[in-house]
């Protein structure tokens, strides 16, 4: 199996950030990484490999060189994607004869891409454990179970002239009929091996059932959900799992909630990375000053996907600083520091890629358009170190089904191995 097939399997089995982190943990355990808990004291050895999670939706894995404490070499990506979250009371039987799900937007998605396709539900349930406490269960309905239907064109003649979707009224998925009340939670609870009555709370999200596919004249493209940013999250973790670090502490962080501003305890704009790096230092006997030095002397690669030129809208992209799928890792630039890249971090990352024989491309937005921001500058507010913003070129960012190039994932993995190993 090649890396792209492995990634497509991972994406299919990771409909939510919780599942992505669970699957990354499995990959890391398989190559000797051991789990540390934030609530416990940390002991670690030179040459050891560890990971820690927060909220079960963010994860930081790291590898200590045999030489011991040394500067941090960090990669960061994110586990979440735009979707719809089920509200606390999620059954809506107010339209006679139908049972719909009452959902809320999570992040900035292309709403129309979610219509007229089979959807399902996954996430976590928190239930009574029978001893006065609670237990968390990962769940995935894992079947075609709902659809958000379009209006027929006869009732919405202007839909092709642009339509303002209202998330409260237009985008509720049809799940069943009047007598199906209670069925969804019963089925999820059964999947988790618990009773529906014991479920106290839930974080449940919609996802598309469309399987990943490889396509094109020479099968040079692939499409699936959540390419932004699972492609970078998986690619960086895969590279870490294959690397041996001789100097520098290799760190790979996958944060949650990037799509909604990163301001949660498990987001890039939290103390998760700072706490983890500090605790690594103390566990290895470093002083406060040595830990600060290891941050100051460190380097961070913030990996979040980039915009390939759209085949039908080349006019929306800068003429000289545009990027294409299958042409290498993208270094992202923004004068106003929405991306952290500067001449020094650009040059260092270019050298890393040169060593790995990986091509690089440079992206800047048109000056009359504002682009998105990402993890790097938010994370830098907590752990400030030389950082480059990179990503892989893709189309249709934030559609329920995105497209990327089949060659680029291997480029990323090779670049990251070169970063951590050399």
Q: Measured from the CB of residue 32, what is the shortest distance to Co ion in angstroms?
A: 29
Q: Which residue, 203 or 229, is less far from Co ion as judged by CB?
A: 229
Q: Which residue, 80 or 91, is less far from Co ion as judged by CB?
A: 80
Asked whether 281 and 69 are in contact (CB, 8 A), the reply is: yes
Counting residues that bind Co ion (by CB under 5 A) gives 3
Q: Which residue, 185 or 393, is less far from Co ion as judged by CB?
A: 393
Q: Which has the closest alpha carbon to 58: 272, 277, 247, 325? A: 272
Helix (H) or strand (E) run with residue 330 in it = strand 329-332
Q: Measured from the CB of residue 374, what is the shortest distance to Co ion in angstroms?
A: 6
Q: Which residue, 373 or 418, is less far from Co ion as judged by CB?
A: 373
Q: Distances in Å between the alpha carbon of 138 and those of 110, 141, 196, 360?
A: 27, 10, 14, 38
Q: Measured from the CB of residue 229, what is the shortest distance to Co ion in angstroms?
A: 4
Q: Which has the closest alpha carbon to 24: 203, 187, 252? A: 252
Q: Which residue, 228 or 256, is less far from Co ion as judged by CB?
A: 228
Residue the block writes with tokens 């999947």: 191
Asked whether 135 and 127 are in contact (CB, 8 A), the reply is: yes
Q: Measured from the CB of residue 228, what is the shortest distance to Co ion in angstroms?
A: 4
Q: Measured from the CB of residue 136, what is the shortest distance to Co ion in angstroms?
A: 26
Q: Measured from the CB of residue 26, what is the shortest distance to Co ion in angstroms?
A: 23
Contacting Co ion within 152-191 (CB under 5 A): none
- SS3 category, 414: helix
- Note whether 402 binds Co ion by CB under 5 A: no
DSSP letter at 16? S
Q: Which residue, 49 or 78, is less far from Co ion as judged by CB?
A: 78
214 burial via Cβ count (<10 Å: 0-12, 13-18, 19+): middle
Q: Which residue, 243 or 365, is less far from Co ion as judged by CB?
A: 365
Contacting Co ion within 291-310 (CB under 5 A): 304
Q: Which residue, 202 or 307, is less far from Co ion as judged by CB?
A: 307
Q: Measured from the CB of residue 370, what is the shortest distance to Co ion in angstroms?
A: 16
Sequence-ordered list of residues with C-beta below 8 angstroms from that of 236, at least 6 positions apart, any chain? 75, 77, 252, 254, 301, 303, 412, 416
Q: Measured from the CB of residue 305, what is the shortest distance to Co ion in angstroms?
A: 6
The interface mask with Co ion, positions 221-260, x = CB under 5 A, is -------xx-------------------------------
Q: Measured from the CB of residue 372, what is the shortest distance to Co ion in angstroms?
A: 8
Q: Report cis status (omega within 30 of 0) of the bond before 229.
A: yes
Q: Which has the closest alpha carbon to 17: 166, 145, 110, 122? A: 122
Q: Which residue, 273 or 397, is less far from Co ion as judged by CB?
A: 397
Asked whether 360 and 353 are in contact (CB, 8 A), the reply is: yes
Q: Which has the closest alpha carbon to 118: 207, 55, 30, 199? A: 207
Helix (H) or strand (E) run with residue 294 in it = helix 288-296
Residues contributing to the site for Co ion (CB under 5 A): 228-229, 304
């Amino acid at each position: 199996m090649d890396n792209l097939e492995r990634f497509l399997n991972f994406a299919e089995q990771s409909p939510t950030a919780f599942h992505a982190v669970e699957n990354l943990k499995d990959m890391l355990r398989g190559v000797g990484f051991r789990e540390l808990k934030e609530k416990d004291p940390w002991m670690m050895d030179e040459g050891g490999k560890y990971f820690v999670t927060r909220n079960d939706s963010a994860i930081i894995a790291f590898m200590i060189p045999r030489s011991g404490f040394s500067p941090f070499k960090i990669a960061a990506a994110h586990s979440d994607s735009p979707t719809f979250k089920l509200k606390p009371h999620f059954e809506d039987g107010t339209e006679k004869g139908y049972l719909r799900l009452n959902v809320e937007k999570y992040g900035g998605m292309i709403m129309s891409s979610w219509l007229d396709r089979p959807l399902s539900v996954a996430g976590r349930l928190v239930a009574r454990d029978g001893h006065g406490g609670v237990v968390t269960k990962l769940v995935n309905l894992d079947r075609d179970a709902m659809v958000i239907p379009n209006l027929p064109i006869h009732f919405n003649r202007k839909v092709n002239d642009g339509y303002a979707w209202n998330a409260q009224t237009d985008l509720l998925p049809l799940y069943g009929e009047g007598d199906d009340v209670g069925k969804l939670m019963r089925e999820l609870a059964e999947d988790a091996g618990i009773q529906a009555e014991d479920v106290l709370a839930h974080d449940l999200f919609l996802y598309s059932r469309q399987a990943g596919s490889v396509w094109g004249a020479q099968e040079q493209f692939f499409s699936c959900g959540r390419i932004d940013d699972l492609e970078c999250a998986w690619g960086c973790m895969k590279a870490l799992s294959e690397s041996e670090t001789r100097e520098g502490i290799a760190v790979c962080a996958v944060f949650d909630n990037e799509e909604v501003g990163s301001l949660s305890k498990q987001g890039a704009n939290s103390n998760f990375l700072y706490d983890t790096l500090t605790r690594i230092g103390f566990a290895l006997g470093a002083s406060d000053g040595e830990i600060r030095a290891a941050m100051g002397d460190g380097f961070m690669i913030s990996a979040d996907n980039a915009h390939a030129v759209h085949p039908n809208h080349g006019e929306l992209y800068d003429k000289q600083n545009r990027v294409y799928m299958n042409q290498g890792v993208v270094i992202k630039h923004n004068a106003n520091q929405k991306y952290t890249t500067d001449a020094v971090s650009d040059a260092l990352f270019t050298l890393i890629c040169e060593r790995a024989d990986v091509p690089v491309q440079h992206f800047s937005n048109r000056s009359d358009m504002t682009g998105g921001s990402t993890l790097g500058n938010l994370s830098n507010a907590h752990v400030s170190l030389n950082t480059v913003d990179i990503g892989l070129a893709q189309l249709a960012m934030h559609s329920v089904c995105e497209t990327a190039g089949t060659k680029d994932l291997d480029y990323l993995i090779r670049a990251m191995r070169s970063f951590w190993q050399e």
